[in-house]
């Protein structure tokens, strides 16, 4: 199963894009300056224009009559122009504060912008504050953005004279005779444009963070300072986004993972390698055990492939040619082996272990398979992007006429699981990439099979051109969390090519050998990443059915310990995930510990409870306590709540 993991910034998802704003269109006469037209007609919030399909600056004077489409700053294109201009203004501020700075690239990105800059040292929070302060001064100075074109040689000379080798390298890679420059005040930069008319148009912005970034992503190149910022058309939009970021920060699974003692990542162990602590291991065990049972119900058989396979097999499958940069290799007794990044080949070998009849098909093989991928350290991100992870991976081998039902079965499986965990989701079909194997006919058959299954069940989908696996198209399922962020989850891939490469066959009703179709699929995807999304979706406050600890038993003082132990043992014996509080602290502190650790239920036991044989129970986030609760009633309520939530 090929799986696309989010990049370093995409790992935390994104908030919804604002709706498109209606543009203004009008006929403009030759010789007119677009900015003057905007002022004359009192057009508000216009930052650029489109003429004959091309974006241009408002400072443009047209040389013939044109139909002009004026672009509002709140439009998707308008906000991108605003943010790209903000990156130039930020670079100008950096140049004022660090005169020897050298500049690489500064694009607009989703919800913001960044600039990669060689400053000669790492930046800190005080530096960001000073840069932002200088940006505000530049904005207030109202410098116009002025465009000019130079020959490629003139551009090279300009940046060589400045000693900016990054821009020189970028210009050398441009396959054009002329390049465009933009200047605002005393700052000039290489840029295609367009830009806002002047710096005063940037009113609502904020610098967010700084991170290290290698020039062009090459670890052998210098480490630059990547300064991130954001900008919006209105103060409310900026305030809303900053509030959104604060909520994201509160829910960060790395932070909550430490606080809730779920997992750790240590440099001495290795980047991208997860150490699961007891509570985190319990959480993933609950999910994995539930998934195993659900697969059995749906007719899957458990298999397990080896962690390493001969490199020749990876060459035969095409992984070596298309994926080797993401693989680890080792040598055993002079033979080259690839550590598996996917589970496909092991499952193929299971299928090939004996001759298959049409009566046996479909064969559905499932494995919670551990895979390893060589990810660069700069893109590793908590549980979201790691070097070792587990996939709930399955491969279905079926006859072509069974394909539609099998894909629908997987879609129904996905639907059931997303409902269980409380996620809305959307789907898209990712089509053939440039770097792929197989014939056009095979890809057309596979793509049409996915489309047919979605349309037969009235499921909505989008098309994501060119993002399929190298061996086949796929349906990607993207779940939406409590903050509206989208995350890649399930994947269903239709593959006619690997069965051919490995000469997979079955005997049909007439005794003739035929080629099966292979469906690669995951339901939750990477277990590590899914848990990261769960943590952030629930802010670590898991529903009872997946809470690693459901109940904590708290004795009021040491003299109540023996009775607390009896209650604790009884809960454990009937399968309730309970803990006994043994710390020598006041009862109020013990309760605060449970609250901080987000334990759903706390049972408090003192003299009164021992004498009455009843329980005092505190439910998380509820004020006060439920007193005089029968043990049997409490147990029944726990079971009912757990079953209602999913029954894991």
| Positions marked active-site | 344, 373, 391, 393, 395, 474, 520
Strand segments (E) across 104-152: 108-109, 112-118, 146-151
Helix spans in 163-307 (H): 165-172, 235-251, 253-259, 278-297
Q: Is 31 helix (H, G, I), strand (E, B) or coil?
A: coil
DSSP string, 152-167: HHHHHHHHHHHT-HHH
Which residues sit opposite 71 in a β-bridge?
48
Contact 118, 224 (CB under 8 A): yes
- Give dist(CA 170, CA 107) in Å, integer: 14
Query: Within 13 Å, how many C-alpha atoms sit on residue 226's CB side?
Result: 20
- C-alpha 71: how far from chain center: 31
Q: Is 251 helix (H, G, I), strand (E, B) or coil?
A: helix
Contact 606, 561 (CB under 8 A): no
- Give dist(CA 402, CA 476) in Å, integer: 21
- Give dist(CA 131, CA 318) in Å, integer: 49
Which residues sit opposite 345 in a β-bridge?
none
Residue 218 corresponds to which tokens in the numbers above? Answer: 């090459």
Greatest Cα pair distance, the chain, in angstroms, is: 95
Query: Within 13 Å, how many C-alpha atoms sit on residue 50's CB side?
Result: 13
Burial state string for 450-476 with b = 16 or more CB within 10 A and e = fewer than 16: bbebbeeeeeebeeeeebbbbbbbbbb
Query: Within 13 Å, how many C-alpha atoms sit on residue 433's CB side?
Result: 12
Contact 314, 292 (CB under 8 A): no
Using only C-alpha atoms, the chain has a radius of gyration, in whole angstroms, of 30
- Give dist(CA 234, CA 241) in Å, integer: 11
- Give dist(CA 582, CA 553) in Å, integer: 9
Residue 245 corresponds to which tokens in the numbers above? Answer: 């970021």
């Amino acid at each position: 199963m090929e799986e696309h993991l989010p990049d370093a910034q995409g790992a935390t998802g994104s908030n919804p894009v604002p709706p498109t704003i209606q543009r203004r269109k009008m006929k403009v006469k030759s010789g007119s300056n677009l900015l003057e037209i905007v002022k004359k007609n009192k057009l508000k919030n216009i930052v650029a224009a489109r003429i004959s399909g091309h974006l241009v600056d408002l400072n443009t004077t047209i040389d013939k009559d044109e139909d002009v489409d004026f672009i509002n700053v709140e439009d998707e294109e308008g906000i991108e122009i605003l943010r790209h201009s903000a990156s130039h203004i930020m670079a100008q501020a950096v140049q004022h504060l660090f005169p020897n700075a050298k500049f690489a690239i500064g694009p607009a990105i989703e919800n913001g912008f960044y600039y990669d800059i060689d400053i000669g040292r790492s930046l800190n929070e005080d530096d960001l504050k000073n840069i932002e302060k200088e940006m505000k001064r530049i904005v207030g100075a109202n410098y116009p953005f002025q465009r000019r074109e130079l020959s490629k040689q003139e551009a090279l000379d300009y940046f060589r004279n400045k000693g900016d080798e990054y821009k020189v390298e970028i210009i050398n890679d441009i396959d054009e005779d002329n390049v465009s420059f933009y200047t605002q005040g005393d700052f000039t930069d290489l840029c295609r444009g367009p830009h806002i008319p002047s710096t005063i148009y940037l009113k609502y912005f904020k610098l967010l963070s700084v991170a290290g970034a290698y020039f062009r992503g090459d670890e052998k190149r210098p480490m630059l300072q990547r300064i991130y910022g954001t900008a919006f058309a209105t103060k409310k939009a900026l305030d809303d986004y900053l509030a959104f970021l604060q909520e994201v920060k509160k829910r960060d699974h790395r932070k909550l993972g430490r606080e809730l003692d779920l997992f750790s990542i240590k440099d001495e162990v290795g980047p991208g390698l997860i150490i699961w602590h007891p509570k985190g291991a319990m959480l993933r065990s609950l999910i994995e055990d539930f998934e195993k049972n659900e697969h059995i119900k749906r007719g899957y058989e458990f298999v397990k492939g080896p962690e390493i396979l001969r490199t020749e097999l990876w060459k035969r499958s095409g992984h070596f040619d298309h994926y080797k940069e993401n693989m680890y290799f080792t040598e055993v007794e002079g033979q080259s082996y690839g550590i598996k990044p996917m589970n496909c080949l092991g499952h193929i070998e299971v299928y090939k272990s004996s001759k298959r009849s049409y009566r046996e098909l479909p064969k559905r093989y499932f494995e919670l398979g551990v895979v390893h991928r060589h990810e660069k350290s700069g893109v590793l991100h908590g549980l979201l992007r790691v070097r070792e992870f587990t996939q709930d991976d399955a491969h279905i081998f079926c006859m072509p006429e069974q394909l539609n039902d099998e894909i629908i079965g997987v879609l129904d499986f996905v639907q059931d699981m997303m409902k269980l965990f409380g996620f809305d989701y959307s789907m898209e079909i990712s089509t053939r990439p440039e770097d792929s194997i197989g014939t056009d006919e095979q890809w057309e058959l596979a793509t049409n099979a996915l489309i047919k299954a979605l349309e037969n069940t009235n499921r909505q989908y989008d098309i994501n051109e060119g993002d399929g696996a190298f061996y086949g198209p796929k349906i990607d399922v993207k779940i939406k969390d409590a903050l509206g962020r989208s995350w890649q989850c399930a994947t269903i891939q239709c593959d006619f090519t690997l069965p051919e490469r490995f000469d997979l066959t079955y005997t049909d009703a007439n005794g003739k050998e035929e080629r099966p179709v292979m469906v690669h699929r995951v339901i939750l995807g990477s277990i590590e990443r899914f848990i990261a999304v769960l943590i952030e979706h629930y802010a670590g406050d898991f529903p009872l059915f997946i809470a690693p600890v459901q109940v904590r038993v708290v004795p009021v003082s040491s003299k109540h310990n023996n009775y607390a132990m009896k209650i604790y043992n009884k809960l454990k014996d009937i399968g309730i995930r309970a803990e006994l509080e043994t710390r020598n602290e006041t009862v109020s502190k013990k309760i605060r510990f449970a609250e901080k650790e987000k334990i759903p239920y706390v049972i408090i036991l003192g003299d009164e409870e021992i004498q009455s044989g009843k329980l005092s129970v505190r439910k998380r986030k509820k004020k006060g306590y439920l007193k005089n609760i029968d043990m049997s009633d409490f147990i029944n309520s726990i079971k009912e709540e757990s079953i209602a939530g999913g029954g894991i």
